[in-house]
Structure 1
Amino acid sequence: MATKTAPGPISGKRKREESHTNAAETKRPAVGPEAKVTFKDAADSSAKPSLVQRTGSAKAPARPETVFPTNAGTLASETNGSSAPAPLASTIESHDGDIHLQLVTGSYERVLHGISAKIPRKLLRTKPASDQDVEGPSTDADNAVRFSNTFLFAAHASSIRCLAISPSTESDKRYLATGSSDERTNVYSISTAPSTHNHQVDLPSLASTSSTSENPRNRSLGSLIHHDRAITRLEFPAKGKLFSAVEDNTIAISRTRDWTVLSSIKAPIPKPQGRPSGDTAAPGETPAGVNDFAIHPSQKLMLSVGRGERCLRLWNLMTGKKAGVLNFDRSLLSQAGEGKYSSGEGRQVLWTAAGDAYIVGFERGAAVFGIDSRPKALITPSPITKLHQFRMVPPVGQAGSGELVAISTEDGRILFFRVDATVSADGKDKLPPCTCVAQLGGAEAGIGGRIKDFEVLTLQVEEPPAPPMLVIITASSDGAIRLWCVAGLGSVSAEGGAPQQVGSLLGTLETGSRITCLGAFVLDGKAVGSVADEAEEAETGANENSEGSENE
């Protein structure tokens, strides 16, 4: 009869070898784009995973190792749940010789392009806004804007339709989110510190600039996959929340701490009313999708406009439910340039800085509404052209001069309208027009291409008694990025109904891509490669080594 022999005891040497092997396998993170760990919604364990390409567990996410393809580097992920409203522009007080800006563009070619712009202080000279200075950038190398590539890679499987950058906080990094037609939202961590010469390398580039300024703090955090339609709009009202809108009339609210979906707002699908020309809906489907949304400065209300419907929807963000619907009157649409065969849908919507009025943009015009949802005034460009992007201009002029809204056009202009018209007696009567006080670019500046997107930044170049200056970054569909300096915009006044030409061109960069969206902010953090930064990295490395020795 065969006798079974019990396995002998494991020696101490074998135990130590197995423990080292298991520890190494546990510590080893998945690196590169192939590393995929699925996170599910905490509320429903059977829900679709909301985040991929992350490492660690859902409760305590580990340090991700997926980095930008063109600038490898790692930085631990940190979040800040601040509920402060997002500022309209970045304001800094720089006392050194140069000012650094971080530009990010998306394009039809799926390319996510990060650009660092170094502006000498001499170029940001205070000039009256009435001076028609549309000359090109200075040829002197010391007085010219220097561009360098921060990252450049194909971020999505389809064209990039929108992007958003989180507001400025005490942290030394911001979040960058990009949305595409491939139903994914990529999330990145962008450093707010400018790179030094120690990190500049020469790498191949598709852009006109050959220099590359690598920042090791920039990294990829993964992809959100909780949507099943193309993403149309992204916004960070605070660093702790991300709002994303898609073509199925859904607006999702995600938490940046663990990237879980907190709530989802669903608007009804509009009823089919014919197939207008240019409709891109699939056969048998109805044109649908959120074109744009705007969050009130108090972060308690939200406005949204969608495709295929001639109305504006108001949402209560405290409850996540609909608060009202405002149908656009036929007379209002006619005055705003929406003819009989136009769609009549709102393309853009935004609140004023004070939150007491909002603007609804159509294809060739816009309407200003009061807090009581009654139309106040009309915004119509002259000559009539298609409108693309709307931005509120921070108040930098004289007190009581009124709020300004900047609008980019199809013919290469940025028009500044004063939003200070009085409320009309009847909403059906002819509304008063808003005054166009200034114009940037256009045929007078030798620019005729479409300005798809732009950003407005505020810089305090001189001492506080001096007024701040505006730096406007424009992105055209032909791939050109232009930096403009505008001073004294709040004090201009239109004489005889003709807007004044303002701004001076600081620099131009040809990216070679058809740009669809743009984001920009001031690099005002601690410089990479500084003595304090090196000491911090050395201390972090020493702590990691000590932890590793303790684990062994």
Structure 2
Amino acid sequence: MAKRKRDTAPTNGAAATEVQSTAAPSKKAKPTTTTAPKKKTVVSNSAALAPFKHDSDSPLTIQIIAGSYDRVLHGITATVSPKSTVQFADSFLFDAHASAIRCLALSPPSVPVKNQTQKVLLATGATDERINIYNLSAHPPSTKTGNDSRLLSSLAPRPILENPKNRELGTLLHHSGNITRLTFPNGSRSKLLSGAEDSTIAVTRTRDWALLHTFKCPIPKLQGRPSGDTASMYNGAGVPQGVNDFAVHPSNKIMISVSKGERCMRLWNLETGKKSRVLNFEKKMLQDIGEMTRGGGTGEARRIVWGTRRTRQDGEGGGTEDEFAVAWDRDVVVFGMDCIPRCRLMAGQQKTKVIEVEYVQMGEEDGSVLAVSTEDGRILFFDTNQIIAAPAPAPVKEGQEEEKGEKNKGVEVVKKSEKLQQNNNGEEGKNKKGKKEETEGLGSAKLLAQLGGKEAGVSGRIKDFNFLPVETEDGKLGWYIVTAGSDGSLRIWNLKGEELNNGEKKQVGKLLGTYETQNRITCVEAFIMIPRPEGAEESEYEFDDEESSDSDDSDEE
């Protein structure tokens, strides 16, 4: 028996070691198995962000959410009829924050489940250092209204279609500065990324709203800044600080951020949670785009977005290649995956301020175009695959150089004489090469079309915009565009894909309707609402009794 026990003991031990050995790889395999569903969820979310297949004979409902300086979070539904007429209605009006709302973020709809409605998460950030989370219904509101709603809508100047499912979930206090950016990266519903003026980027898990990781951007050093009384305006530290914007690569492995007081961009490794590298902007590039000059900007980037461009081989075919665009006050520069600037956008355009940038996907294999909103009420569309070479600088005669040097008290003459002496000493080729590198500038991307502007009766700045892709029955791609002006106006445009495919510089888009919010809008988000589930009645999820709603609230608490 003892031998049997001895025999069974090692076998049990061997079995235990086998279980441990198999469990160990299973633990190792769990991340791989969990990452595999993550990849699947990314695909499903991207499918959710794919063009909405719409029947032209049925109406389409768009949920619009606008944040404002007046601390108001305004929800509007826009119903587009088959005749391209729009009917607006107020869906909710929240006094969301204690100060101005800076940014919004929408998640994709929840996974469809039988006999259950789908929901969308809304995150709002403001200058009160808070992030509010809301739960919005993904389905159009009911047209059947109760007596109270009818009485309220009769007193209001605009129709009201309220949905009781639109409610607040809670508040996140992860930051100690003004919230500057919010995003659910690449259509993901499981993570929320937030940037703030405390120079941090927080990663929050939406399942339990736990803070998973915080990326800490270093505070820039004080260089050339005034000291004394004037230094107090820079957050008490004597230097501006905070994250202006960040963008996550579609692979969810890399993130790029730009901050205040810095003339660089930082690359972050999302797999390790650490900083990868720092890429400084070239001084000449900043000077070419109007930064680092007298009366120009400080050199810090304002916005950054990821996109794709189509690569062509022998003029036909080719795949797509990733790129990213960085926006300053007056211009936008496009970088390749090697972080080398490829082209700029606003060269040759009338001088105006850049407000917002976004890549618009043209198709799975067609790449995308870059849309830029300006201060004069336009949205410009650029093709970053077609680059127009920068014009060569005009040659300057020797007499003009000497005259210019005499006007500048002989400083330029001394510099020219020093260069001539260096050329005589055998460094002529080196100087010619250096001069060529200095005079070569970035080419400009081809302008495809523009939307809005004075030609369409829009003169105020477009503070923010959203593109909602729609695919018709015949497979044609189009967009409903929601633009928000700082004067409080919301406009809905209809843009067809063939208008951008022609490649001709012209006015595009059709204005469908305008809604005046009477608030100073700072940001806007929108999504196309999903039709009601088949067989579901409105009373099942729209008109709950007060007792049931109270019980739901108690359960959630």
TM-score by length of 2: 0.72
Q: Tell me how far 1:91 sits from its aligned partner.
A: 2.2
Cα deviation, 1:45-70, whole Å, max 9, x if unaligned, reads: xxxxxxxxxxxxxxxxxxxxxxxxxx
Partner of 1:306: 259
The 5-angstrom pairing of residues 445-460 of structure 1 reads 445-460=456-471
CA distance, structure 2, for counterparts of residue 364 and residue 279 of structure 1: 28
The 5-angstrom pairing of residues 51-450 of structure 1 reads 82-84=41-43, 87=46, 89=49, 91-95=51-55, 97-123=58-84, 144-171=85-112, 172-199=118-145, 201-202=149-150, 210-237=158-185, 238-275=188-225, 281-341=234-294, 342-353=297-308, 356-380=322-346, 382-395=349-362, 400=366, 403-421=368-386, 429-450=440-461
Contact 1:208 1:511 in 2 (8 A): no
SS of equivalent to 2:304:
strand
- The partner residue of 1:505 within 511, 515, 519 is 511
Partner of 1:72: none
Partner of 1:518: 524
CA distance, structure 2, for counterparts of residue 153 and residue 540 of structure 1: 22
Q: Tell me how far 1:532 sits from its aligned partner.
A: 4.3
CA distance, structure 2, for counterparts of residue 228 and residue 81 of structure 1: 35
Could you say if the C-alpha distance between residues 531 and 517 of structure 1 is closer, same or farther in structure 2, counting changes exceeding 3 Å? same
SS of equivalent to 1:312:
strand
Name the aligned partner's letter for residue 93 of structure 1.
K
Q: Which structure is larger by alpha-carbon Rg, 1 or 2?
A: 2
Q: Does 1:480 align with 2:489?
A: yes
Cα deviation, 1:399-431, whole Å, max 9, x if unaligned, reads: 65x520111000000000111146999986311
CA distance, structure 1, for counterparts of residue 531 and residue 322 of structure 2: 34
Q: Tell me how far 1:445 sits from its aligned partner.
A: 1.0
Q: Tell me how far 1:340 sits from its aligned partner.
A: 1.8
Greater alpha carbon shift after TM alignment, 281-290 vs 369-378: 281-290
Report percent identity of matched pairs: 42
Name the aligned partner's letter for residue 503 of structure 2.
S
CA distance, structure 1, for counterparts of residue 368 and residue 255 of structure 2: 21
SS of equivalent to 1:418:
strand
CA distance, structure 2, for counterparts of residue 279 and residue 118 of structure 1: 49
CA distance, structure 1, for counterparts of residue 88 and residue 518 of structure 2: 14
CA distance, structure 2, for counterparts of residue 335 and residue 273 of structure 1: 22
Contact 1:475 1:515 in 2 (8 A): yes
Could you say if the C-alpha distance between residues 81 and 160 of structure 1 is closer, same or farther in structure 2, counting changes exceeding 3 Å? farther
Q: Tell me how far 1:535 sits from its aligned partner.
A: 5.3
Could you say if the C-alpha distance between residues 543 and 479 of structure 1 is closer, same or farther in structure 2, counting changes exceeding 3 Å? closer
CA distance, structure 2, for counterparts of residue 520 and residue 113 of structure 1: 12
- Higher RCO, Cα 8 Å, sep 6+: 1
Q: Tell me how far 1:432 sits from its aligned partner.
A: 1.0
Name the aligned partner's letter for residue 481 of structure 1.
L
Partner of 2:394: none
Partner of 2:408: none
Contact 1:159 1:181 in 2 (8 A): yes
CA distance, structure 1, for counterparts of residue 89 and residue 231 of structure 2: 38
CA distance, structure 1, for counterparts of residue 542 and residue 82 of structure 2: 31
Cα deviation, 1:263-312, whole Å, max 9, x if unaligned, reads: 00001001122449999523443201110000000111001001000001
CA distance, structure 2, for counterparts of residue 522 and residue 278 of structure 1: 47
Cα deviation, 1:181-236, whole Å, max 9, x if unaligned, reads: 1010000011110012114734769x995111111221110000121111000000
SS of equivalent to 2:235:
coil
Name the aligned partner's letter for residue 99 of structure 2.
S
Structure with the bigger percentage of helix: 2
In structure 2, stretches of 5+ residues that fail to align are 1-38, 113-117, 309-319, 391-435, 553-557
Could you say if the C-alpha distance between residues 515 and 280 of structure 1 is closer, same or farther in structure 2, counting changes exceeding 3 Å? farther
CA distance, structure 1, for counterparts of residue 523 and residue 329 of structure 2: 18
CA distance, structure 2, for counterparts of residue 384 and residue 259 of structure 1: 44
In structure 1, stretches of 5+ residues that fail to align are 1-79, 124-143, 548-552
Contact 2:123 2:182 in 1 (8 A): yes
Partner of 1:25: none
Partner of 1:137: none
Could you say if the C-alpha distance between residues 543 and 408 of structure 1 is closer, same or farther in structure 2, counting changes exceeding 3 Å? closer
CA distance, structure 1, for counterparts of residue 266 and residue 59 of structure 2: 45
Greater alpha carbon shift after TM alignment, 268-277 vs 362-371: 268-277
CA distance, structure 2, for counterparts of residue 204 and residue 333 of structure 1: 55
Could you say if the C-alpha distance between residues 167 and 468 of structure 1 is closer, same or farther in structure 2, counting changes exceeding 3 Å? same
Cα deviation, 1:3-58, whole Å, max 9, x if unaligned, reads: xxxxxxxxxxxxxxxxxxxxxxxxxxxxxxxxxxxxxxxxxxxxxxxxxxxxxxxx
SS of equivalent to 2:128:
coil
How many residues were matched structurally?
438
Q: Tell me how far 1:327 sits from its aligned partner.
A: 0.3
SS of equivalent to 1:434:
strand
Q: Tell me how far 1:167 sits from its aligned partner.
A: 2.3
Greater alpha carbon shift after TM alignment, 145-154 vs 424-433: 424-433
CA distance, structure 2, for counterparts of residue 370 and residue 423 of structure 1: 17
Name the aligned partner's letter for residue 287 of structure 1.
P
